[in-house]
Amino acid sequence: MENYKAEEMAADKKIESINDQAFCSVGHIVERIPTAERIELTELELSHIEQLVSKEQAAAIIDTIEYAKKYMDGKKSLRQISSLVMLDLGRSGLDVLNPTLSGEYAEFRKIELVAAINRIKGLEVETKS
């Protein structure tokens, strides 16, 4: 056995632990297909999405969910819908949400959009394996 210092041994174990976690199997991921018919944003609780830091981000997300309904055709998964919406926002900016220039929106990330959609009470989804 080679002579290791305690710090080197701890670092080696940490790297092994990280590598073990990176290659562990999480099972089969099921696609969720939301339907727009039942989406009501009257009671959308966004306070538990810790990465949202301003009311402008929340306003943008709420209007983005309304915008995303045009992609919710019962065939596209939540992953596809969120990608299409973020692509639209990337191309045209937040102006696609509201054509009047108001400055009431702030940018957000895709993960925050999906987190907000997942918090919609009464959201109906179908699963596709």
Structural element, H or E, at residue 32 = strand 31-34
pTM of the shown model: 0.73
Continuous segment of H or E residues that includes residue 127: strand 125-128
Position 22 scores a pLDDT of 54
The full set of domain ranges for the chain reads: 29-128
Query: How confident is the model over 65-91, as a mean pLDDT?
Result: 94
What's the rounded Cα separation, in Å, for the pair 92 and 99? 11
Mean pLDDT to the nearest integer, 12-40:
67
Q: What is the pLDDT of residue 24?
A: 58
